[in-house]
Amino acid sequence: MGHQKGWVNVGRMALLLCVLGGVGETVSPAFADEPGVDLNSPEAIRHTLEQQTGKRVKLKLQSGQELEGKISKVGSNVVVVSELSGMEFFDATVRVDQVAAVIVRVRTK
């Protein structure tokens, strides 16, 4: 069966919407100071990663694996994640098209 890239992007965008703001809610105030992400853009994941440069995030990859660390650099095809949780002396380079969700801590109790 062929890979249906359009469906992957729709699923990725739906997951991103749920992670960023919840279903039926607005985007968190933490993103109010950030330039808006065009949720209809195929580059939405990359733009979200760019906005989080220098901050700690958790990346959920399409494989199901999760990486947590600080976003160091974002290119057109890859993102560099440094100070990985549990492996602080290691960095990872991840293909942007393999990121299913960007999980960002936006509030504390």
Domains of the chain by residue range: 5-103
pTM equals: 0.65
Q: What residues pair up with 1 in beta bridges, in sequence order?
A: none
Select from 98, 105, 108, 10 the least CA-distant residue to 52: 105
Fold entry, domain 5-103? SH3 type barrels. (2.30.30)
Q: Whole-angstrom Cα distance, residue 107 to residue 95?
A: 28
Q: Which amino acid is at 50?
A: E
pLDDT in 10s for each residue of the chain, 109 residues: 444 444 444 445 444 444 444 433 334 444 444 557 788 888 999 999 999 999 999 999 999 999 999 999 999 999 999 999 999 899 999 999 999 999 999 888 8
